[in-house]
Amino acid sequence: MHTLPLRTPTELDAMRAAGRVVAQTLHAVQAAARPGVRLRELDELAQTVIREAGAVPSFLGYRPAWAPTPFNGALCLSPNEVVVHGRPNGRRLREGDLLSIDCGAIADGWHGDSAVTVHVGADPEDDAPLLLATELALSAGITAAVPGATLLDVATAIDSVARAHGFAHLPDHGGHGIGRNMHEAPFVPNEPTRDAARHRLRAGNTIAIEPMLHAGTSGYRTKKDGWSIVTADGKRSAHFEHTVAITDDGPEILTACVS
Ligand code: MG
Ligand code: MG
């Protein structure tokens, strides 16, 4: 059995502060995501909100081992068939786009990480069932994140909702431990794995839970920019994420509060 690090009450307060900045940023960016607005403009707005709150964008300049270049923005902006890791660029939003907005911020050395998927204007392709299923999957995963449960319980809860609604996961991707680093062990899978049963949750653990669902079943490919992950069949996808603290009173969402 592997144990996750425990956060002290003071550390959890710091993570609440980071989570609040992320929630405020997503709130502002979501409201600004209108037809004609460029992705780069949304990213500039996010950087302003994060810095005015006294925090630091955690994605900007981030370069995991697999990435060809440091990330170029404060947000991952992933339209339509882009599942995650879309780069802020000059693309203008169009009526009917489905946009995943993923944001990370660091406050006093502690991280928050959260994502939402929103419609830009109308819903011509009837994405509502996909959005609902992905939000419900996140909610089920959070509800399962209680002391004594394992990450297998979290993964099974997420996967059950995805299956019940007939959607597929982005393979090989999921959530993660989070604290002084954005991405910490362990991997928090969206589908049951053998390893997930070896991680038991205790009050004081902090994890990011993030289902990524799509209508197709054909897997994914990475675009030439080395970052953007798109569904292989071009089907649309949705992504929701929260940073969550496990407490004796149940899961506490650290990235929900905008006030
Ligand atoms: Mg994220
Ligand atoms: Mg994350």
Mean pLDDT of the chain: 96
Question: pLDDT class for 185, splitting at 50, 70, 90?
Answer: very high
- Domain extent listing, the chain: 9-253
Q: What is the Cα–Cα distance from 196 to 199, expressed in whole angstroms?
A: 6
Once rounded to an integer, what is the mean pLDDT over residues 107-130? 94
Q: Is the pLDDT of residue 1 over 90?
A: no
HSE, side-chain direction, 13 A CA sphere, residue 89: 10
CATH class of the region 9-253: alpha beta
Taking the C-alpha atoms of residue 207 and residue 176, their distance in angstroms, rounded to an integer, is 6
What's residue 217's pLDDT?
Answer: 79
Mean pLDDT of 170-186: 96
Query: Is pLDDT of 92 > 70?
Result: yes
The CA 114 to ligand 1 mean position distance, Å, reads 5
Q: Are 226 and 212 in contact (CB under 8 A)?
A: no
> From the CA of 15, how far away is ligand 2's center (Å)?
14
List, edge to edge, every strand of the sheet that includes 242-247: 184-189, 174-177, 206-209, 242-247, 250-253
Number of the ligand closest to the Cα of 74:
1
31-46 residue pLDDT tens? 999 999 999 999 999 9
pLDDT tens-digit profile of 28-85? Answer: 999 999 999 999 999 999 999 999 999 999 999 999 999 999 999 999 999 999 999 9
In this prediction, residue 231 carries a pLDDT of 95
Residue 259 has pLDDT above 90, yes or no: no
Nearest bound ligand to the CA of residue 78:
1
Distance 104 CA to ligand 2 centre (A): 8
The pLDDT value recorded for residue 216 is 82
Residues with CB under 5 A from ligand 2 (ion): 113, 208
> What percent of the chain is predicted at pLDDT more than 90?
93
| Residue 16 CA to ligand 2 centre (angstroms) | 16
Q: Which residues lie closer than 8 Å to 138 by C-beta, 6 or more apart?
A: 158, 209, 210, 211, 240, 241, 242
- Which residue blocks in 109-250 are alpha helix, DSSP H? 128-143, 151-164
What pLDDT does residue 257 have?
A: 80
Summarised one tens digit per residue, pLDDT across range 193-234 is 999 999 999 999 999 999 999 988 778 999 999 999 999 999
Q: What is the mean pLDDT of residues 110-136?
A: 94
114: CA distance to ligand 2 center in Å?
7
